[in-house]
Amino acid sequence: MKFGGSCLTDKSAFNKILRIIDIYKDVKKIFVISALNGITDLLLKAALNLEEATITDKNISLIEKRHIDIIEQIFEEDSEHYIKAKDWIDEKLSELDDAFADIKEFGLEPYYRDYVLSFGEILSTYIFNQYLLSKGLDSVYIPANKILITTDEFNNAYPLYDLTNFRIKRLILPILENPKKDIMICVTGFIGRNKIGYITTLGRGGSDYTATILAHSLYITGNDKNIKVILWKDVDGLLVINPIYVSEPSLIKNLDYDEAKHIANFGAKVLHPKCLEAIEKYKIPLEIRNFDKPLNEYFTEISEETNREQIKGISAVELATIVSVTSGSLVNVPGVLAKIFKTMSKNKINVSFVAQSSSEISTSFIVNATDSEKAIQALNHSKFFSDFFNIKWESVAVINITGLKILENKTKAEVFNALDKKNIKVKAISQSYNEINLSIVIDKENLFDAINIIHDDLYEEFES
Ligand code: ASP
Ligand code: MG
C-alpha cells in the first residue's frame, strides 16, 4: 500500500490510516510512504536558492515546522515515540544542513539533488513507522536505499531488478514470511541507490513506482504470489476526463495495463506512468482507492481484464507545438526521419506525436510548448533542413482518446462527427498500428469545446 502526502496531513488523516490497517488486518502489508505534501518541492527550492544563509535557514525551519506540527498532533507529548520522532528530525535536518553546505561549495550536482530530495520520504516514513508502533502495532522502518538498487540516472533512475530482488529476498522476505509474527514494513517511497551507494530518485511522484517495484520483486522472490498494490489517494481513482473540462466525469472502474499506461501518461497525474512496467508482466493487480472512503465500491482497478466495449478516457495536452517539415524534392530518400529525430534528441527535446503521410512529402510532430523555440532553431540551423525543407510550426492542443473501442471505425466516425458539429478542424491525427490510443491535433482555442462534444456524443461508450 502506498500512502501519498495527501494522506498524511493531520491527526484525523493518520486515524484513517489505522482504520485501513484494520480493514486489511488479515493480510501481510508493506507500506510505501511519500513525503508530506509540498516537502519535496520545498527541499528542491531550498537547494536551488542557497546564496543567502538566512533564506536557507528559513527553509530548513519551515521543513522542520511541518514535521513537528504532525508529530505534535499524532503523538502524546514526551512519549517514547514522540521523542524518537523528534530526535530523528533533529538528526536528519542536521545532515541536510551539511548537504546544503556541500552544495554551496561544489554546486548542485545531480547526486546532491537526489540526496536532498530524499529527506522528505526519510522523515515522513520514519514518523509513520513510529506512529504504528505507538498504536501497539508491530512494524519496522526500512529506507528504500537499502533494498531498491537502481541505475545511475539521478533524478530519473530505473530499478536494477536482479540486484533489488536479491536485497528483497535477504531483507524483506524473512520479516514478511515469519510465521510467528505479524510485522508490517514501512518503506520510503521515491528513493533508491545506485550500485556504489549513492541515493537516487525515481522521478517526481515516484512513490507509486516504489510500490510496484516492491510488488514485482516480492512476486519473483517470495512464495506467495497473491500480491496486490493499493495506491491510496485523495481521489476515487482515475476519471474518464479531467474535471476541469467536464463536470462530474465518471470513474474508470477497470482497465488493463496498456490502457492505464496511456491514461497515466496524459492524465491528471493520479498515477505515475512508469509504475505499470513493474507489475504488468506478472499480472499483479493495482488499485487506486480513496483514502477517505476505504470501503467505497468506486475505485479503479488495473489488471489484465478490461471491458473491450468501452472508451476508457479522454485526455488533453494543452500546451503543445506542432512542427511540420515539408519537402517536395526529398521524397523516397532514406534517413530524413532519422535526421529530424536526431536533431531533436541532440537538443534533448521529447517528441510526443508523429504523423507522416505515405507520400513522405511532409512530416509533423509534437513537442512541448516550452521546447518549441529550441526545436525550430535547431532545424533552421541545420543546412540540410534549411536548404531543402520548409519548416512550419503552430501552437496547438492534442486530445487523446484511449480504449480498445477506438480501433473501431464506428467510434472514429462518431468522434469526427462530433467535432464537425462544432466546426472544429482536425489538423493532424495519429494512431499506431493496432494501438488503443487516437491522438487528434486541434486549435488550442477549441480544446474545451472539442472535449465536451466528444464526451457528450460518445457518452454511452464510456464506463459509468
Ligand atoms: N515526494 C516525491 C514527489 O513529490 C515522490 C512522491 O510523492 O511520490 O515527487
Ligand atoms: Mg508527492
b/e sequence 434-461, b meaning 16+ C-beta within 10 Å? eebbbbbbbbeebbebbbbbbbeebeeb
Whether the CB-CB separation of 267 and 205 falls below 8 Å is answered with: no
- CB count within 10 Å of CB 237 equals 23
CB 31 within 8 A of CB 94: no
- DSSP alpha helix (H) spans, 195-271: 207-221, 257-266
Is residue 403 predicted with pLDDT exceeding 70? Answer: yes
Neighbours of 63 (CB within 10 A): 24
**Which CATH number characterizes residue 429's domain?**
3.30.2130.10
Q: Which atom of ligand 1 is nearest to the CA of 2?
A: 8
For residue 121, the ligand 1 atom closest to its alpha carbon is 1
At 463, the pLDDT band (50, 70, 90 cuts) reads: low
Q: What is the average per-residue pLDDT within 70-79?
A: 97
Q: What is the mean pLDDT of residues 376-389?
A: 91
Residue 247 lies in a domain: no
46 occurs within a structural domain:
yes
pLDDT tens readout for residues 109-127: 999 999 999 999 999 999 9
Query: Which of 209, 227, 245 is the C-terminal boundary of a domain?
Result: 227
Task: Choose one of 210, 227, 244: the last residue of a domain.
Answer: 227
* Boundary residue ending a domain (197, 212, 227): 227
DSSP conformation class of 460: G
Residue 271 lies in a domain: no
- The reply to whether 73 and 207 lie within a common domain is yes
Residue nearest (by alpha carbon) to ligand 1 atom 6: 205
Inform me whether the pLDDT recorded for 296 exceeds 80.
yes
Whole-number pLDDT of residue 8 = 97
> Has residue 305 been placed in a domain?
no
Nearest listed ligand to the Cα of residue 43: 1
Cell of 313: 478516457
Closest ligand 1 atom to residue 35 Cα is 1
For residue 151, the CA-to-ligand 1 centroid distance in Å is 19
Of 25, 49, 33, the C-alpha closest to 1 is: 33
> Considering the domain boundaries, does residue 413 fall inside one?
yes
pTM score: 0.89
pLDDT exceeds cutoff 90 at 80: yes
- Closest by alpha carbon to 44, among 123, 121, 113, 119? 113
359 or 276, higher pLDDT? 276
Mutate to test the pocket of ligand 1, among 7, 8, 40, 119 (most ligand atoms within 8 A of CB): 40
| Residue of 155, 190, 202 to test ligand 1 pocket, by largest number of atoms within 8 Å of CB | 190
> What is the number of the ligand closest to the CA of 35?
1
Q: How far is the CA of 121 from the centre of ligand 1 (A)?
A: 8
pLDDT band at 52 (very low <50, low <70, confident <90, very high): confident
Residue 268: predicted pLDDT = 62
Minimum-distance ligand 1 atom for the alpha carbon of 120 = 1
383 is a domain residue: yes
Q: Sheet containing 437-443: give its strands across.
A: 351-356, 362-368, 313-326, 390-402, 437-443, 428-430
Among protein residues, the one with the nearest Cα to ligand 1's atom 2 is 205
- Would you state the pLDDT for residue 141? 98
Q: Does pLDDT of 179 surpass 90?
A: no
Which among 382, 389, 332, 388 has a CA at the least distance from the CA of 364?
389
Ligand 1 mean position, distance from CA 35 (Å): 6
Q: What is the mean pLDDT of the chain?
A: 94
Cα–Cα dist 243/264, whole Å: 15
Give distance in angstroms: CA of 250 to centre of ligand 2.
25
For residue 210, give the ligand nearest its CA.
Answer: 1
pLDDT band (50, 70, 90) for residue 243:
confident
Residue % of the chain over a pLDDT of 70: 98
93: domain CATH number is 3.40.1160.10
Q: Are residues 222 and 317 in the same domain?
A: no
334, pLDDT greater than 90: no
272 and 205 in contact (C-beta within 8 Å)? yes
- Which listed ligand is nearest to 40 at the C-alpha? 1
pLDDT per residue as tens digits for the range 425-438: 999 999 988 888 99
Characterize 239-278 residue by residue with b for buried, 16 or more Cβ atoms within 10 angstroms of its Cβ, and e for exposed.
bbbbeebbeebebbbbbbbbbbbbbbbbbbebbbbbbbbb
Which residues have CB under 6 Å of ligand 1?
A: 4-5, 34-35, 40, 120, 189-190, 204-207
Residues in a beta bridge with 301: 254, 287
Beta carbons of 276 and 302 less than 8 angstroms apart: yes
Q: How far is CA 276 from the centre of its chain?
A: 10
Burial class of 94 by CB neighbour count within 10 A (0 to 12, 13 to 18, 19+): exposed
Please enumerate in sequence order all residues whose Cβ is within 8 A of that of 196, keeping only pairs 6 or more positions apart, or say none.
none
State the distance from the centre of ligand 1 to the C-alpha of 271, rounded, in angstroms.
12
> Cβ distance 89 to 72 under 8 Å?
no
pLDDT at res. 267: 62
Which of 410, 412, 462 is closest to 440 using CA atoms?
Answer: 412
Ligand 2 center from residue 209 Cα (angstroms): 12
Lowest mean pLDDT among 68-77, 378-387, 417-426: 378-387
User: Ligand 1 centre and the CA of 79: distance in Å?
Assistant: 30
Of all atoms in ligand 1, which is nearest to the CA of residue 5? 7
Cell of 261: 499506461
Kindly state whether residues 99 and 193 are assigned to the same domain. Answer: yes
pLDDT of residue 367: 96
Closest Cα to atom 5, ligand 1: which residue? 205
Q: Which of 67, 82, 189 is nearest to 123 (CA)?
A: 67
User: What's at 368, amino acid-wise?
Assistant: N
Do 62 and 161 fall into the same domain?
yes
CB 348 within 8 A of CB 436: no
Across the range 125-140, mean pLDDT stands at: 98
Range of the domain at 162: 2-227
Distance 8 CA to ligand 1 centre (A): 13
Smallest CA separation from ligand 1 atom 7, residue: 205
Shared domain for 28 and 154, answered yes or no, is yes
State the pLDDT at residue 433.
87
For residue 244, being part of any structural domain is answered with: no
Q: Which of 43, 117, 148, 204 to probe ligand 1 with, by most ligand atoms within 8 A of CB?
A: 204
3-state secondary structure 17-73: HHHHHHHCCCCCCEEEECCCCCHHHHHHHHHHCCCCHHHHHHHHHHHHHHHHHHHHH
> By alpha-carbon position, which residue is closest to atom 1 of ligand 1?
35
Residue 464 has pLDDT above 60, yes or no: no
Nearest to 35 by CA among 96, 146, 123, 127: 123
Residue 205 CA to ligand 1 center (angstroms) comes to 4
pLDDT, tens digit, for every residue of 300-328?
A: 999 999 887 888 899 899 999 999 999 87
> How many structural domains is the chain composed of?
2
Query: In 10 A of CB 360, how many CB atoms?
Result: 14
- Claim to verify: residue 338 and residue 211 sit in the same structural domain: no
| Test site for ligand 1: of 207, 210, 233, most ligand atoms within 8 A of the Cβ | 207
Domain annotation covers residue 256: no
The CA 23 to ligand 1 mean position distance, Å, reads 26
Ligand number with the minimum distance to the CA of 207: 1
Cα(329) to centroid(ligand 1), Å: 50
Ligand 1 centroid to 38 CA: how many Å?
Answer: 9
Mean pLDDT of all residues in 24-35: 97
